Amino acid sequence: MSKDKSLKKEREALCEDLLEAQFELQKANQGPVLLLVSGNDLAGKAELIYTFYDWLDNRYLNTRAFTVPRGVERKMPRLWRYWRSLPPAGTVGFYLGSWYHQPMIQRSRGRMSEARFSTQMAQITRFENQLVAEGVLVLKIWLHLERPQTQDVPAKTQQAQQKKIESVAMREWGEFSATEYAKVLACAEHTTELTSSALAPWVWIDGSDPDHRDLQVGKLLLQAMEHKLQGKGLVPNDADWQPAKIDRLAKLDYEKALAKDVYKRKLASLQQHLRDLARHPDFSKGSLLLVFEGADAAGKGGTIRRITHCLDPRILRVHGTRAPTPEERSQPYLLRFWRRIPAPGTVVVFDRSHYGRVLVERVEGLCSDLRWQQAYAEINDFEAQLHQAGTQVIKFWLAITPEEQLARFEAREQTPTKRYKLTDEDWRNRDKWPDYAQAMNDMVENTDTAHAPWHIIPSTSKRYARIEALRIVCERLEKRLKQS
Amino acid sequence: MSKDKSLKKEREALCEDLLEAQFELQKANQGPVLLLVSGNDLAGKAELIYTFYDWLDNRYLNTRAFTVPRGVERKMPRLWRYWRSLPPAGTVGFYLGSWYHQPMIQRSRGRMSEARFSTQMAQITRFENQLVAEGVLVLKIWLHLERPQTQDVPAKTQQAQQKKIESVAMREWGEFSATEYAKVLACAEHTTELTSSALAPWVWIDGSDPDHRDLQVGKLLLQAMEHKLQGKGLVPNDADWQPAKIDRLAKLDYEKALAKDVYKRKLASLQQHLRDLARHPDFSKGSLLLVFEGADAAGKGGTIRRITHCLDPRILRVHGTRAPTPEERSQPYLLRFWRRIPAPGTVVVFDRSHYGRVLVERVEGLCSDLRWQQAYAEINDFEAQLHQAGTQVIKFWLAITPEEQLARFEAREQTPTKRYKLTDEDWRNRDKWPDYAQAMNDMVENTDTAHAPWHIIPSTSKRYARIEALRIVCERLEKRLKQS
């Protein structure tokens, strides 16, 4: 059999297997598969992707190309645009210009310090690990061209070829000279070292022979998809958390209360204060994310209303977090919260939040122990990125005793406007009070950070809780506005 | 009972009923309810919305405010930004600055002709009718202030008050003088005449007494929600279509074919031509939407691949249209297609499309007769808006005979890479061949427009069909590029 014929046969067999695997992946609503294609333009990055558009069912393919961040992207966390454009489960996403692109360009050009570069690479590694842990397949290809062999090619041809390689290779990388390309290559090697892992490996592929290149990448993709389908996917195993040492709920003074007239006076004055702060010219420079957690009937809704009453509905979104839809369930856990983070100048309130993973999902066994244990670090990462991008994150736990909850449930049953809030599940959840308390304590222990601290408010007195929450929001906001 | 007390009682009762209705609406996943708040700023537009944030469960409220279109919005169809920001089912959306805002401002300022204004109002009416027909509730409030009564107020106070009203009322409307405000009012009255209907009525509310204002709007909202919940919602009843007079499928020459060598030559030349056209500097000024319909196994996928092979994956999206998800089913039918229209400079391919409503949904009884009959006009409207915004819409029907389909199904069963495409449903659908043929004929009869014509290609020979489709795409694209 000639070389051409055997190549054709190999390609056809591979194509068949790939289609089969893609179909199974799609049917199982698994994935997505992300294939990052970086490297030398001359080595055929775009051509490689064209090939897969021919080989695979292209209704389930997505190609993303990111260049310099523009408009609102520049004011949001760096990874936001990648999060929100993640392709849906069951599909394959190709990336030209992935999250590596900007830091590598800047580092190669000497516009980014090694320290900052390493930090960003570490952040990317955590991002990818999280995706992998949530069922996403991440494959990273660096396409390069082997230097022509001296013995086979006359020196002049070799030189010309090399020059062509180096000049055209620069299309994507701007106006690099050949020497500067050496820096790109060095940076690529460094990046590979920093961010290659069994979970999301970098593979260097020689692009000088297109047939060989496509076959190689095709085989990698097939292998990865088949591993995935067989449930053999590796999962990061690095939960870095400590169980709580203190019972924060037991320490609270649940007797705190406020007389009606004091409440009314304080409410009016704090609300006016918040209104004034929201009109401050620097208010729109940052954004605000308020997180409310607490047992059922702890008074979250009423407290939120006292705060939102002072804010222009046009810049406000209150998100009630419910059980994820089937579509949301097929996507990485934090994605739906990434999609809801505030734009500059706006306020978002989470009535229940991304902490569901370490509260209800943990207690009800809706995710594995490893995953909720890893979630503390993932959530801290998420909030740190928000903080860096200028979002103030203020988190509240409204605390009541089980006895107080029982009294409120019984009162709700008597009140027409509140009866709808009470479900059978609410009653069932009461049996798990100690589990929820443990989960709350672990949560606070592991996610109470300097930039996104927890405020635990005893809420036996709704008046007291509302005034406290309002006071804290005003205080924190005022502090930020004074600093800006 | 004092006036204050009776007001308070009335408000509490209303609030209770509203919460109940909101809860029921949310549980039934019905709606959304859109409340457009226009008019005089002094009459308390923002304040009215604040009230509802207090009265209702604000986790299911959204407020949208649209100003002048920016960035890509300016290059997309005018209604695109409103379509894509429609709030989800089960929620209430408040609009400050709705789709009426820009045309009214421009008309009041004399920057838009009466003819153009009327056209836009007619377009808006069709848009709203479509929303209502799909289960959305649309309520439009114009807030105004009654002139102070001469007998009660000294002339000077009256003048000052009027002046304040007129100057502050202008906040939203830019730099109007008092006389110009008269024009705004006249325009509002005209708009009300043009766009008020039982389906989506305009209601003028006097905003001088805030309590009265909020109660009135609250009662309107409650009434509308209760009607909706009782299934009493009005539905437009204006299907404007004609059954097909000709059987287009019977008239085709299914014998058309192409020899392999001719096919190969033509394919290479047309693909090169398309590649060149896609590199034309004016290519990125417009966009391209290719729609592929046809029976199962008609060869849509293979034809699409021959075209997409010539296009940069970065500017390309192929959407396979499947049955809508439960979330999509709870939203207006065309919404998911509005979300997928091409941005300037990009190409979108629909492998099956928005025509599903008048094909599979009609034949399988998945929507009412009235709704699919109305869909022809709605789809034409959709495509006309795309055309106006610079999107070329090219629609293909790949036609095979039932005998040819049977042969292909049998062949698919023998081919590993194609077996997955064949489902039991495909076999069942064959029994309904005459119904699908009727639906196809009616579809072409009613949606074959000058700017978005149908191309019906006999596809017994896949080679012939691919070459024809490629040729038509090249021809149409070339024509556009020559005109630009």
**Residues B420-464: tens digit of each pLDDT:** 677 888 888 889 999 999 999 999 999 999 999 999 999 999 999
Residue B152 confidence (pLDDT) above 60: no
Check residue A246 and give its pLDDT: 93
**Whole-number Cα distances in Å, B408 to A236, A267, B46, B317, B427:** 46, 74, 62, 27, 12
Check residue B161 and give its pLDDT: 52
To probe the interface with B, which of A314, A317, A418 has the most B CB atoms within 10 Å?
A314
Rounded (5°) CA angle B391-B397-B398: 130
Shortest Cα distance from A163 to chain B (angstroms)?
Answer: 26
Describe the strand order of the beta sheet including A33-39 as a list of residue ranges.
A61-65, A92-96, A33-39, A137-144, A202-206
Check residue A173 and give its pLDDT: 44
- Facing residues of A395 across strands? A291, A454
Chain A neighbours among B 24-53 (CB < 8 Å)? 46, 49-50, 53
Q: What is the C-alpha to C-alpha distance for residues B232 and B451, in angstroms, rounded to an integer?
A: 38
A109 and chain B in contact, CB less than 8 A: no
Give the mean pLDDT of chain B: 89
Contact B50 A305 (CB under 8 A): no
Contact B420 A20 (CB under 8 A): yes
Residue B156 confidence (pLDDT) above 70: no
Rounded (5°) CA angle B8-B11-B16: 125
Widest CA span of chain B, in angstroms?
95
Contact B309 A23 (CB under 8 A): no
Chain A neighbours among B 295-314 (CB < 8 Å)? 301, 304-305, 308-309, 312-314
The region of weakest confidence among A98-107, A372-381, A412-421, B380-389 is A412-421
Q: What is the C-alpha to C-alpha distance for residues B31 and B137, in angstroms, rounded to an integer?
A: 6
Find the closest chain B residue to A26 by CA distance.
Answer: B420
Give me the residue spans of the domains in chain A.
3-229, 260-483
Residues of B in contact with A15 (CB under 8 A): 417
Q: What is the C-alpha to C-alpha distance for residues B272 and B268, in angstroms, rounded to an integer?
A: 6
Shortest Cα distance from B197 to chain A (angstroms)?
Answer: 28
| CATH number of this structure's domain A3-229 | 3.40.50.300
Residues of B in contact with A53 (CB under 8 A): 305, 308-309, 313
For residue B94, give the nearest of A313, A317, A417 by CB distance. Answer: A313
Same topology, domains A3-229 and A260-483? Answer is yes
B340 and chain A in contact, CB less than 8 A: no
A351 and chain B in contact, CB less than 8 A: yes
In this structure, are residues A70 and A235 in contact, taking their beta carbons and an 8 Å threshold? Answer: no
Contact A63 B316 (CB under 8 A): yes
Contact A57 B301 (CB under 8 A): yes
**Residues B311-356: tens digit of each pLDDT:** 988 899 999 998 898 889 999 999 999 999 999 999 999 999 999 9
**Residues A334-358: tens digit of each pLDDT:** 999 999 999 999 999 999 999 999 9
B19 and chain A in contact, CB less than 8 A: yes
User: Rounded mean pLDDT of A437-464?
Assistant: 97
Fold of B260-483: Rossmann fold (3.40.50)
Q: Identity (one letter) of the amino acid at A100?
A: Y
A355 and chain B in contact, CB less than 8 A: no
Contact A314 B57 (CB under 8 A): no
**Whole-number Cα distances in Å, B440 to A63, A199, A357:** 33, 49, 49
Chain A neighbours among B 67-106 (CB < 8 Å)? 71, 94, 96
**Dihedrals phi, psi of A342, to nearest 5 degrees:** -70, 140
DSSP calls for A374-437: HHHHHHHHHHHHHHHTTEEEEEEEEE--HHHHHHHHHHHHH-HHHHTT--HHHHHHHTTHHHHH
Residue B1 confidence (pLDDT) above 70: no
Count CB atoms within 10 A of the CB of residue A441.
18
Find the closest chain B residue to A309 by CA distance.
Answer: B50
In this structure, are residues A290 and A307 in contact, taking their beta carbons and an 8 Å threshold? Answer: yes
Check residue B313 and give its pLDDT: 87
**Dihedrals phi, psi of A95, to nearest 5 degrees:** -120, 120
Shortest Cα distance from A419 to chain B (angstroms)?
Answer: 9
| Burial degree of A386 (CB within 10 A; 0-12, 13-18, 19+) | buried
Give residue B158's pLDDT band: very low, low, confident or very high (50, 70, 90): low
A281 and chain B in contact, CB less than 8 A: no
Helices vs strands, H then E, count in chain B: 19, 10
| Percent of chain A surpassing pLDDT 90 | 70
To probe the interface with B, which of A24, A51, A59, A60 has the most B CB atoms within 10 Å?
A59
Give residue A46's pLDDT band: very low, low, confident or very high (50, 70, 90): confident
**Residues B38-59: tens digit of each pLDDT:** 987 777 888 899 899 989 998 8
Q: Enter the ipTM.
A: 0.80
Describe the strand order of the beta sheet including B33-39 as a list of residue ranges.
B61-65, B92-96, B33-39, B137-144, B202-206
Check residue A29 and give its pLDDT: 86
Check residue A139 and give its pLDDT: 95
Q: Identity (one letter) of the amino acid at B330?
A: S
**Residues A49-72: tens digit of each pLDDT:** 989 998 999 889 999 988 889 888
Residues of A in contact with B36 (CB under 8 A): none
Give the mean pLDDT of chain A: 89
Find the closest chain B residue to A64 by CA distance.
Answer: B314
A416 and chain B in contact, CB less than 8 A: yes
Q: What is the C-alpha to C-alpha distance for residues B123 and A292, in angstroms, rounded to an integer?
A: 43
| Lookup: tokens for A215 | 């076959």
For residue A96, give the nearest of B304, B314, B319 by CB distance. Answer: B314
**Any idea what DSSP says for residue A285?**
G
User: Rounded mean pLDDT of A135-145?
Assistant: 92
In this structure, are residues A158 and A150 in contact, taking their beta carbons and an 8 Å threshold? Answer: yes
Rounded to an integer, what is the distance from CA A403 to the centroid of its chain? 38
Look at the alpha carbons of A337, A339, A342, A347 in this order and tell me if their dihedral is positive or negative.
negative
Shortest Cα distance from B158 to chain A (angstroms)?
Answer: 30
Between A and B, how many residue pairs show a Cβ–Cβ distance under 8 A?
98
Phi-psi map region of B307: left, alpha, beta (phi>0 left; psi -120 to 50 alpha): alpha
Strands A454-458 and B33-39, bridge-based pairing? unpaired
For residue B416, give the nearest of A16, A61, A308 by CB distance. Answer: A16
Q: Which residue has the tokens 């929820």?
A: A436
Contact B63 A326 (CB under 8 A): no
Q: What is the C-alpha to C-alpha distance for residues B37 and B84, in angstroms, rounded to an integer?
A: 19
Q: What is the pTM of this model?
A: 0.86
User: Rounded mean pLDDT of A420-430?
Assistant: 82
